[in-house]
Amino acid sequence: MNKLLKIVIGIVVTFVVLIVVMFFLTSGMIDTADSFFNAVKQKDIAKARSFLSEDFKASTDENTLKEFLSKGAILNYKEASWSNRQTSGSQGELNGSITTESGGVVPIKLMFVKESGNWRIYAIQKPTAGLQSQDSSPAAPNAAEQIALVKKSIHDFAVSANNKSMEHFRNSVSKVWQRQFSAEKFNQVFGGAFSAASFLMSLDSFEPKIEGNPQVGDKGELILKGYILAYPNKTRFEQKFIYEGLGWKLVGFSLNNE
Residues 56-93: tens digit of each pLDDT: 888 888 898 888 888 777 888 888 888 888 877 788 88
The pLDDT score that the predictor gives to residue 139 is 60
Amino acid, single-letter form, for residue 174? S
Amino acid, single-letter form, for residue 77? Y
Residues 87 and 184 occupy one common structural domain:
no
Please tell me the total count of domains within the chain.
2
Residues 176 and 121 occupy one common structural domain:
no
Give the integer Cα–Cα distance in Å for 29 and 96. Answer: 13
- Burial grade of 170 (CB within 10 A; 0-12, 13-18, 19 or more): buried
The pLDDT score that the predictor gives to residue 167 is 94
Residues 88 and 163 occupy one common structural domain:
no
Residues 174 and 247 occupy one common structural domain:
yes
Residues 106 and 158 occupy one common structural domain:
no
Q: Is residue 68 part of a domain?
A: yes
Strands 233-244 and 247-257, by their bridges, are: antiparallel
132 versus 15: the higher-pLDDT residue is: 132
Give the integer Cα–Cα distance in Å for 123 and 107. Answer: 14
Maximum C-alpha span of the chain: 82
Give the integer Cα–Cα distance in Å for 166 and 158. Answer: 9
Q: Report, as an integer, the average pLDDT of 49-54.
A: 90
Range of the domain at 51: 3-125
> How many Cβ atoms are within 10 Å of 233's Cβ, its own excluded?
14
> How many Cβ atoms are within 10 Å of 133's Cβ, its own excluded?
8
Give the integer Cα–Cα distance in Å for 240 and 251. Answer: 5
Mark 196-215 as b/e (b = at least 16 C-beta within 10 Å). ebeebeebeebebebeeebe
Find all residues with CB under 8 Å of 194, minimum gap 6, and list them: 161, 164
In this prediction, residue 13 has a pLDDT band, given cuts at 50, 70 and 90, of very low
Give the integer Cα–Cα distance in Å for 114 and 167. Answer: 29
In this prediction, residue 5 has a pLDDT band, given cuts at 50, 70 and 90, of very low
Q: Is residue 11 part of a domain?
A: yes
Give the integer Cα–Cα distance in Å for 44 and 35. Answer: 11
Partner residues linked to 79 by β-bridges? 99
The pLDDT score that the predictor gives to residue 67 is 87
Residues 147 and 83 occupy one common structural domain:
no
Q: Is residue 134 part of a domain?
A: no
Is the predicted pLDDT of residue 39 greater than 50, yes or no? Answer: yes
Q: Report, as an integer, the average pLDDT of 15-32.
A: 54
The pLDDT score that the predictor gives to residue 208 is 93
The pLDDT score that the predictor gives to residue 134 is 40
In this prediction, residue 173 has a pLDDT band, given cuts at 50, 70 and 90, of very high
Most confident of 32-46, 77-91, 153-167, 172-186: 153-167
- Burial grade of 165 (CB within 10 A; 0-12, 13-18, 19 or more): middle
The pLDDT score that the predictor gives to residue 129 is 55
State the chain's mean pLDDT as an integer: 81
Residues 88-144: tens digit of each pLDDT: 778 888 888 888 888 888 888 888 888 888 899 988 887 655 444 444 344 678 888
The CATH number linked to 191 is 3.10.450.630
